[in-house]
C-alpha cells in the first residue's frame, strides 16, 4: 500500500468539483494559471439521483421503532439538549405533614403503625389543607426556629467561612512590592 503510484491519486478538489470535459478542458488547461487547480464549481448533490432514477422496490425502510412511534415518544422525552433537572416543590400541605409526622426516612414517634397510622396520615393531610399559619396557631409548642431564635441557615455546600486565605512564603524579598501566585 505504501508503494502505490502517485498517478492514481486524485486531488481533493477534483473529487468534489465538476470539471470541464472534451475541448473545453483543453482550452481551460491552456489559459489556466495552474492547470492542476480545480474550477471550484461544486458537484450538485441536490436531487442526485433524480426522482424516478432509483428502482422503488430497491429501498428498504429502516426499522426505527420505538423511536419512530409517535404515540409513546413525545419530543420532550427524547430532546436531550433540554434535559433540565426537574424542580422539587414543597407545598404548605407537605410542610405541615413533615412537621407533624416527619418523613419516610425519619418518621415521627407519634406515628402509629397499621390502620391507625393510615388514619393519622389522612387527618394530617386534611389539616395541611388549612395551611402553615393554621398549623402554627394550633401548635404553639412547635419550634421551627433554632436554639438562638433564628430561622435555620441555608446549606453551605462545602464552603467553610471560618477558614481565611493565608498567603504562603513569597519568592521576592520584603522590600520588593510584588507577590507571585505560583
Ordered per-residue pLDDT tens for the chain, 182 residues: 566 666 677 776 677 888 888 999 899 889 988 888 877 788 777 777 788 888 888 877 776 666 677 777 778 777 778 777 777 888 888 888 888 777 777 777 777 777 887 787 888 888 888 888 888 888 766 666 667 777 777 776 766 666 666 666 666 677 777 766 65
Q: Are 55 and 80 in contact (CB under 8 A)?
A: no
**pTM higher than 0.85 for the full model?**
no
Amino acid at each position: 500500500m505504501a508503494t502505490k503510484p502517485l498517478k492514481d491519486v486524485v486531488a481533493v478538489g477534483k473529487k468534489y468539483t465538476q470539471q470541464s470535459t472534451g475541448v473545453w478542458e483543453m482550452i481551460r488547461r491552456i489559459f489556466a494559471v495552474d492547470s492542476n487547480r480545480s474550477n471550484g464549481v461544486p458537484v450538485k448533490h441536490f436531487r442526485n439521483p433524480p426522482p424516478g432514477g432509483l428502482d422503488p422496490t430497491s429501498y428498504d425502510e429502516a426499522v426505527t421503532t420505538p423511536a419512530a412511534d409517535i404515540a409513546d415518544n413525545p419530543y420532550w422525552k427524547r430532546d436531550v439538549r433540554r434535559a433540565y433537572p426537574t424542580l422539587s416543590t414543597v407545598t404548605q400541605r407537605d410542610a405541615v405533614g413533615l412537621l407533624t409526622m416527619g418523613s419516610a426516612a425519619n418518621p415521627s414517634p407519634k406515628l402509629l403503625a397499621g390502620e391507625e397510622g393510615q388514619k393519622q396520615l389522612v387527618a394530617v393531610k386534611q389539616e395541611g389543607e388549612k395551611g402553615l399559619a393554621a398549623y402554627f396557631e394550633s401548635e404553639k409548642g412547635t419550634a421551627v426556629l433554632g436554639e438562638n431564635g433564628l430561622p435555620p441557615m441555608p446549606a453551605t455546600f462545602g464552603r467553610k467561612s471560618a477558614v481565611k486565605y493565608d498567603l504562603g512564603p513569597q519568592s521576592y524579598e520584603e522590600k520588593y512590592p510584588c507577590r507571585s501566585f505560583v
